[in-house]
């Protein structure tokens, strides 16, 4: 049994970017384990750690050397192994020399294709200690770093300057060089509490030794500590900590030894919108707000310090001094903005560029206003409310508050619209136009909000496509993928009876610049169908089920989903596989038939009992299937059509379709065309 030992690798750096810390950690581990797999080195459980100043791997039970392997080399064919006198040929002797062996040490390899000379050579496995440095170096070089930096006179390049490296296999130090730093067993503790070097005794003692030096290496442990401390601190002041997951992740990446400190701010600031205060605390200061049991904001906050201060009150006071002017600025912006109504700000939008080829935000607003009014009428919603909401939709972009807190666009619009006396439906729509904000996020709940969100996203999507700025690879500066998915979700999950092609065409008519409307419409539609595919696969449908519906060109998302659900139900039937194969066979036969072969069908020419039975069964269900399809009852229709399985099987088994008599041949093909036409009204099940 091969020997194993734990591996430890730590790269000590200056403060790493908090937003990418976990990504760097995960990719480092992924790259190293991939290298170990490629080297045929077995290993046990893997741990990856990260703090602001280090990336660490701990891999348990790593094989200390590769296993020895027998490599079989194939030489010349036996027919060429000997000369006419029965002596080894030059080719055979050359092969033996190349293997470092004598001719009589060669063997014979027998296969179905003949016999060859062969040689089995035992190749000794390399020690892990001689391989691991190269594996780690490769992983470091492939880390997803947008821009690498250099430091001092070093030629090395990394996301931040590197100062130390630890590399140990068991208790043995492996001497190597990473980014021009020589590895050792010397790590380091907290910058202030334990700045001296730490001699790591073994990989298994690493976390404990660092914790004794005021460093919590494990990200999840550190995150749990921060969460628990924040909750406890908020409870102590009679509140509940408002812990945003993304902020929790960011703070976890900013500290090595978290210590919660409570602070307070002047209660008169609570007259400002809750979202403004929360944004100021979370985005600008990285504080956790504190709420009461009803969700109202309290004049307290929790900050996470990276130091165990001997005077926590001083730390708290410093944080309070920082946040007070921030809140005062927000209060000033709020008071100044309320002096001008949103309606009076509409003209200012003409001075804000949306996209240089598409004009200003004012022009976009006017397009969305017309589109919203038309769409609201089509859906039976209040077109006046939709038009008003669209007119005011972007006016908060020119307020001081949104200028300072861009993430509050829409939210601030709702507050100002309410203060201006706008109808509640209009005010809420100003915020809901940006929904959903992320995958699986909340959707607009009001009719006006749904219309505005749809039209705003559609205008952006069509407009950007019309000037040729299509998303490529992972580059999508206008978030068109998110916009397309948002449109689809709003339509599907609110069951809005809308046709994508008609919507796209209507949006195209709102633009005044020259572009190929047909090409743009096609590109946008196909782009949205690609997003619809991703949405459907995430819902548990298969690629084949999606393709079966997509192939019949259904432009209404709600109808598309109804068909897809029916196809999924149909796929579970016992008859599904046979009918899918039969439909594929029918399609292949119809490729050789006239386009109007169904019209050439003559029932009086049917002769064989099997084709008569098939025709009779088709007639008995056809009158029921058509109205079911018109009523979108696709599941019932497909289950009725599944009764054709047995007669179709019998037909193919006993009837010669390509008869010499042209009329009879066309009649039989016409019968198949009629069957296919009924299925294809729902989906192309031959794809299943």
Answer whether residue 357 is part of any domain: yes
- Please tell me the distance from the alpha carbon of residue 565 to that of residue 683, in angstroms, as a whole number: 11
Residue that is last in its domain, among 333, 358, 385 = 333
- Please tell me the distance from the alpha carbon of residue 219 to that of residue 50, in angstroms, as a whole number: 6
Q: Is the pLDDT of residue 262 over 60?
A: yes
| Residue 627: both structure tokens together | 């109205």
- In a 3-state reduction of DSSP, which class is residue 90? helix
Answer whether residue 407 is part of any domain: yes
What's the alpha-carbon Rg for the chain, to the nearest Å?
35
- In a 3-state reduction of DSSP, which class is residue 52? coil
- Please tell me the distance from the alpha carbon of residue 466 to that of residue 83, in angstroms, as a whole number: 75
Q: pLDDT value at position 81?
A: 80
In this structure, the strands spanning 4-13 and 162-169 are antiparallel
- Write the CA distances from 48 to 18, 55, 225, integer angstroms: 16, 8, 18
Same-domain status, 524 and 417: yes
In this structure, what DSSP letter does residue 272 have?
A: S
Same-domain status, 13 and 99: no
Model confidence pLDDT, tens digit, residues 194-235: 999 999 999 999 999 999 999 999 999 999 999 999 999 999
Q: pLDDT value at position 676?
A: 85
Q: pLDDT value at position 2?
A: 67
Q: pLDDT value at position 210?
A: 98
In this structure, what DSSP letter does residue 338 have?
A: T
Answer whether residue 679 is part of any domain: yes
Q: Where are the beta strands (DSSP E) in 68-126?
A: 69-77, 107-111, 114-123
Answer whether residue 548 is part of any domain: no
Same-domain status, 261 and 358: no
Spatial contact of 160 and 149, defined as CB atoms under 8 Å apart: yes
Mean pLDDT of 475-486: 92
Q: pLDDT value at position 541?
A: 95
- In a 3-state reduction of DSSP, which class is residue 158? strand
Mean pLDDT of 262-282: 95
Model confidence pLDDT, tens digit, residues 490-539: 999 999 999 999 999 999 999 999 999 999 999 999 999 999 999 999 99
Count of domains in the chain?
Answer: 5
Mean pLDDT of 250-255: 97
Q: Which domain range does residue 449 map to?
A: 343-540
Q: pLDDT value at position 680?
A: 84
Instruction: Share the mean pLDDT of the chain.
Output: 92
C-alpha closest to that of 443 among 508, 498, 487, 396: 487
Matching residue, tokens 């707000």: 289
Q: What is the CATH number of the domain that holds 429?
A: 1.10.3210
Residue that is last in its domain, among 151, 185, 206 = 206
Same-domain status, 185 and 322: no
DSSP bridge pairs for 13: 162
Same-domain status, 151 and 31: yes
Same-domain status, 230 and 363: no
Same-domain status, 233 and 323: yes
Model confidence pLDDT, tens digit, residues 637-666: 888 888 888 888 888 888 888 888 888 888
Matching residue, tokens 């000369």: 83
Mean pLDDT of 91-120: 83
Same-domain status, 305 and 433: no
Q: pLDDT value at position 646?
A: 87
C-alpha dihedral (253, 256, 258, 259), degrees to nearest 10: -140
Answer whether residue 17 is part of any domain: yes
- In a 3-state reduction of DSSP, which class is residue 297? strand
Same-domain status, 668 and 631: yes
Q: Is the pLDDT of residue 169 over 90?
A: yes
- Please tell me the distance from the alpha carbon of residue 577 to that of residue 574, in angstroms, as a whole number: 7
Answer whether residue 552 is part of any domain: no
- 590 contacts: CB under 8 Å, gap ≥ 6: 597, 669, 672, 673, 676
DSSP string for 398-460? GSHHHHH-GGGTTHHHHHHHHHTT--HHHHHHHHHTT---STT-----SHHHHHHHHHHHHHH
C-alpha closest to that of 264 among 232, 239, 293: 239
Q: pLDDT value at position 410?
A: 96
Answer whether residue 482 is part of any domain: yes
Mean pLDDT of 580-606: 83
Q: What is the CATH number of the domain that holds 40?
A: 3.30.70.260
Q: pLDDT value at position 1?
A: 45
Model confidence pLDDT, tens digit, residues 374-400: 999 999 999 999 999 999 999 999 999
Model confidence pLDDT, tens digit, residues 435-463: 999 888 999 999 999 999 999 999 999 99
Same-domain status, 230 and 312: yes
Residue that is last in its domain, among 274, 308, 333 = 333
Answer whether residue 260 is part of any domain: yes
- In a 3-state reduction of DSSP, which class is residue 5? strand
Model confidence pLDDT, tens digit, residues 293-302: 999 999 999 9
Q: Is residue 417 packed enough to be buried (19+ CB in 10 Å), middle (13-18) or exposed (0-12)?
A: buried
Q: Of residues 546 and 115, which shows the higher confidence score?
A: 546
Same-domain status, 300 and 322: yes
Phi then psi for residue 681, to 5 deg, are -65, -20
Q: Is the pLDDT of residue 132 over 90?
A: yes
Q: pLDDT value at position 140?
A: 97
Spatial contact of 25 and 58, defined as CB atoms under 8 Å apart: no
Spatial contact of 222 and 77, defined as CB atoms under 8 Å apart: no
Same-domain status, 234 and 303: yes
């Amino acid at each position: 049994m091969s020997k194993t030992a734990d591996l430890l690798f730590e790269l000590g750096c200056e403060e790493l970017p908090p937003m990418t810390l976990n990504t760097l950690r995960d990719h480092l581990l992924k790259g190293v384990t991939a290298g170990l797999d490629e080297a045929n080195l077995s290993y046990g459980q893997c741990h990856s750690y990260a703090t602001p100043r280090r990336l660490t791997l701990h891999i348990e039970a790593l094989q200390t050397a590769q296993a020895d392997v027998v490599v079989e080399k194939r030489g010349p064919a036996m027919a060429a192994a000997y000369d006419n006198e029965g002596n080894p040929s030059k080719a055979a002797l050359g092969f033996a020399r190349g293997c470092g062996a004598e001719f009589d040490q060669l063997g014979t390899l027998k296969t179905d294709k003949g016999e060859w000379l062969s040689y089995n050579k035992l190749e000794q496995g390399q020690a892990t200690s001689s391989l691991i440095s190269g594996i780690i170096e490769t992983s470091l070089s492939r880390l997803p770093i947008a821009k690498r930096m250099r430091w001092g006179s070093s030629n090395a390049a990394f996301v931040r300057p590197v100062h130390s490296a630890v590399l140990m296999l068991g208790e043995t130090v492996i001497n190597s060089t990473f980014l021009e730093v020589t590895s050792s067993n010397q790590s380091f503790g907290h910058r202030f509490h334990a700045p001296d070097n730490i001699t790591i005794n073994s990989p298994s003692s690493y976390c404990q030794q660092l914790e004794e030096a005021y460093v919590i290496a494990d990200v999840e442990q550190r995150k749990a500590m921060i969460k628990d401390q924040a909750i406890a601190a908020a409870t102590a002041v009679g509140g509940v900590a408002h812990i945003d997951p993304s902020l929790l992740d960011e703070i976890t990446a900013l500290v090595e030894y978290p210590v919660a400190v409570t602070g307070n701010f002047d209660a008169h600031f609570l007259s400002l919108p809750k979202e403004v205060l929360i944004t100021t605390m979370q985005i600008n200061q990285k504080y956790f707000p504190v709420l009461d049991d009803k969700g109202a904001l309290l004049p307290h906050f929790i900050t996470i310090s990276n130091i165990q201060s001997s005077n926590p009150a001083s730390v708290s006071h410093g944080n309070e001094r920082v946040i007070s002017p921030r809140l005062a600025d927000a209060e000033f912006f709020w008071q100044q903005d309320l002096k001008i109504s949103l309606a009076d700000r509409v003209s200012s939008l003409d001075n804000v560029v949306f996209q240089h080829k598409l004009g200003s935000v004012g022009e976009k607003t006017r397009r969305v206003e017309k589109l919203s009014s038309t769409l609201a009428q089509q859906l039976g919603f209040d077109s006046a409310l939709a038009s008003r909401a669209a007119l005011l939709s972007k006016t908060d972009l020119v307020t001081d508050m949104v200028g300072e807190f861009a993430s509050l666009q829409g939210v601030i619009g709702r507050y100002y619209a309410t203060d201006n006396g706008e109808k509640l439906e209009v005010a809420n729509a100003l915020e809901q136009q940006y929904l959903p904000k992320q995958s699986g996020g909340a959707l607009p709940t009001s009719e006006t909000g749904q219309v505005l969100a749809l039209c705003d996203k559609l205008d952006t999507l069509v407009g950007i496509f019309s000037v040729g700025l299509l998303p490529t690879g992972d580059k999508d500066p206008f978030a068109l993928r998110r916009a397309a998915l948002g449109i689809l979700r709003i339509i599907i999950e609110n069951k809005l009876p809308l046709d994508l092609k008609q919507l796209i065409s209507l949006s195209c008519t709102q633009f005044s610049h020259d572009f190929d409307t047909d090409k743009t419409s096609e590109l946008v539609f196909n782009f949205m169908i690609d997003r619809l595919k991703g949405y459907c696969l995430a819902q548990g449908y298969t690629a084949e089920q999606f393709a079966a519906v997509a192939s019949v060109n259904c432009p209404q998302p709600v109808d598309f989903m109804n068909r897809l659900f029916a196809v999924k139900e149909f796929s579970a039937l016992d008859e599904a596989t046979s009918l899918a194969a039969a439909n594929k066979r029918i399609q292949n036969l119809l490729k050789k038939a006239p386009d109007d072969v169904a019209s050439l069908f003559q029932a009086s020419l049917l002769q064989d009992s099997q084709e008569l039975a098939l025709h009779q069964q088709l007639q008995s269900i056809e009158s029921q299937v058509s109205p079911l399809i018109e009523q979108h009852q696709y599941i019932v229709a497909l289950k009725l059509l599944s009764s054709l399985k047995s007669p179709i099987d019998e037909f193919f088994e006993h009837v010669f379709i390509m008869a010499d008599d042209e009329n009879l041949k066309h009649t039989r093909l016409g019968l198949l065309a009629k069957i296919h036409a009924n299925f294809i009204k729902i989906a192309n099940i031959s794809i299943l």
